[in-house]
Amino acid sequence: MSKPTLSPLHLWQLSFGFLGIQFGWGLQMANMSPIYELLGAKESELSLLWIAAPLTGLLVQPIVGHFSDRTWNALGRRKPYFLGGALLSALALIAMPNASALWMAVGLLWILDASINITMEPFRAFVADLLPESQRPAGFSVQTVLIGLGAVVSSSLPWILANGFGITEAAGSGTGRIPLPVRLAFYIGAAVLFVCVLVTILTTREYPPEDPEAFRRMKAEGAGLANGVREILACISAMPVRMRQLAWVQMATWAGLFCMWTYFGTSIARTVFGATEAGTPRYIEGTSWGGVCFSVYNGVALLMAFVLIGLVRKVSPRTLHTVGLLCGAVGLLSVLVIRDKYALFGSMVGVGIAWACILAMPYAMLAGSLPEERMGTYMGVFNFFIVIPQVVVALGSGWLVERIFGNQSIYAVALGGTFLGLAALLCRRVDYQPQGRA
């Protein structure tokens, strides 16, 4: 099918839901480790408690991708999953900051991550479904802009509420109660997530199957979970060469990111702010500043995404991605020597450049190598190479922090920088030559 070139407005409408999705992710990334510690978790246990994020992605995304390839109803192909996942995500965000025990927070994170993955997975395929190949790099870069905007606000929202609006309430002494600014931030995030996804649902139209009879046969052949698993395994065995090469890049990249998300806030609370235990004023200040730092890197990613929209017309996505990953590696490694809270912003500039590329360039390189009729399934399979390294890090980094790093989790953040450097080297091996470009 020849797909029409869409207007700039339509490009934004296609991905507007990602603004809301990133509100959910941003609140989680900046606040879950502090929430866990406030509810009694040890720092060496954090990575294992975070395992919900990658495991739910591993289980949910390929299955949702498979069934969304075979869905067509009044809402469309991908939109039913947007709507259902957004509703569940909003409810989980409302419940999360009201957890009164560690096991409750852990269980709610599983529900939240599964729900966000249901919403998020079809969005990558949605853009590939509706855009011609020439517009896909720009389409994925627009996603990056919206992801960055959502993350900038959500990551620092508790800090903004406390310092900009004077809404303050410390964690309850010995009770593990979550501070009021954090609770309000999660409530706001729930509303933003649902409304943004609803905007995409109401303002876009999906293309119906070209051959309804062939679509019905494919749907019948893929009916049931067992058939879905067989389809996923078949896609794994038949992965295009470019996808196999990008898989190694993704595994190193997301191992590095998981190290950062798990340990950055709590580590700078101790190394930069001098906190000695969870729940102290310096700890609250330090972990809140970690959220501000996450806003900085997401803000840089937001600005960089606009740059990428222009650069992808002139520079290969492979080259852009390599340079971006190297910037991220330098940013995370520099945290080892920084002891001033404002100097951390310099580190976050490098991470932000990397993040902008990570959110767009792998998908721009990947989409053109995939069969249209299995786009959702392959995008779900591609997610394996995001979540598997995170599972490995979740299982092993706690042991490293406790036994090798002497409970100094700043070294786990630096390990993340090393992984990003490795990803940059692996990116140069990807065979990507669109329209005669290297």
| SS3 annotation, the chain | CCCCCCCHHHHHHHHHHHHHHHHHHHHHHHHHHHHHHHCCCCHHHHHHHCCHHHHHHHHHHHHHHHHHHCCCCCCCCCHHHHHHHHHHHHHHHHHHHHCCCHHHHHHHHHHHHHHHHHHHHHHHHHHHHHCCHHHHHHHHHHHHHHHHHHHHHHHHHHHHHHHCCCCCCCCCCCCCCCCHHHHHHHHHHHHHHHHHHHHHHHHCCCCCCCCHHHHHHHHHHCCCHHHHHHHHHHHHHCCCHHHHHHHHHHHHHHHHHHHHHHHHHHHHHHHCCCCCCCCCHHHHHHHHHHHHHHHHHHHHHHHHHHHHHHHCCCCCHHHHHHHHHHHHHHHHHHCCCCCCCCCHHHHHHHHHHHHHHHHHHHHHHHHCCCCHHHHHHHHHHHCHHHHHHHHHHHHHHHHHHHHHCCCCCHHHHHHHHHHHHHHHHHHCCCCCCHHHCC
Position 1 in a domain: no
- The pTM for the full model equals 0.70
Q: Specify the number of domains making up the chain.
A: 1
Q: For residue 347, is pLDDT > 80? A: yes
Confidence (pLDDT) at 194: 95
- Backbone phi, psi, residue 210, to 5°: -65, -40
- For the chain, give the number of residues: 438
Range of the domain at 388: 8-206+213-436
Confidence (pLDDT) at 231: 74
- Residues 10, 183: Cα–Cα separation, whole Å: 34
Residue bearing the bigger pLDDT, 255 or 390: 255
- Residues 282, 280: Cα–Cα separation, whole Å: 5
- Written as six digits, the tokens of 255 are 């191992």
To the nearest 10°, the Cα dihedral for 428, 429, 431, 436? 40
Of 51-60, 130-139, 188-197, 236-245, the range with the highest mean pLDDT is: 188-197
What angle, rounded to 10 degrees, do the helices at 384-399 and 375-382 form? 20
- Residues 24, 186: Cα–Cα separation, whole Å: 8
Kindly report the CATH number assigned to the domain that includes residue 378: 1.20.1250.20
Q: For residue 371, is pLDDT > 80? A: no
- Written as six digits, the tokens of 168 are 């303050």
176 CB contacts (<8 Å, ≥6 apart)?
Answer: 38, 39, 40, 100, 101, 102
To the nearest 10°, the Cα dihedral for 344, 148, 124, 229? 40
Residue range 57-109, pLDDT digits in tens: 777 877 787 777 778 878 888 889 989 999 999 999 999 988 888 889 999 99
Whether the CB-CB separation of 407 and 295 falls below 8 Å is answered with no
Confidence (pLDDT) at 86: 93
Of 105-109, 119-123, 310-314, the range with the highest mean pLDDT is: 105-109
Region 389-412: what's the mean pLDDT?
88
Q: For residue 1, is pLDDT > 80? A: no
Question: How much of the chain exceeds pLDDT 90, in percent?
Answer: 26
Position 289 in a domain: yes
Position 40 in a domain: yes
pLDDT band at 212 (very low <50, low <70, confident <90, very high): low
Of 25-39, 92-106, 205-219, the range with the highest mean pLDDT is: 92-106
Question: How much of the chain exceeds pLDDT 70, in percent?
Answer: 90
Region 13-40: what's the mean pLDDT?
86
- Residues 78, 141: Cα–Cα separation, whole Å: 20
Confidence (pLDDT) at 78: 85
Whether the CB-CB separation of 152 and 299 falls below 8 Å is answered with yes
Confidence (pLDDT) at 438: 36
What residue type is 366 in one-letter code?
Answer: L
> Of 20-34, 80-94, 165-179, 233-247, which gets the smallest average pLDDT?
165-179
- Residues 294, 153: Cα–Cα separation, whole Å: 10
Residue range 377-386, pLDDT digits in tens: 777 788 889 8
Confidence (pLDDT) at 376: 67
Position 2 in a domain: no
Q: For residue 312, is pLDDT > 80? A: no
Position 3 in a domain: no
Whether the CB-CB separation of 26 and 18 falls below 8 Å is answered with no
Confidence (pLDDT) at 74: 80
pLDDT band at 407 (very low <50, low <70, confident <90, very high): confident
What residue type is 381 in one-letter code?
Answer: V
Region 409-423: what's the mean pLDDT?
95
To the nearest 10°, the Cα dihedral for 415, 394, 299, 194? 170
Confidence (pLDDT) at 222: 57
CA distances from 268 to 162, 167, 193, 214, 287 (A): 19, 23, 29, 56, 7
- Written as six digits, the tokens of 150 are 């959502």
Position 309 in a domain: yes
Confidence (pLDDT) at 436: 41
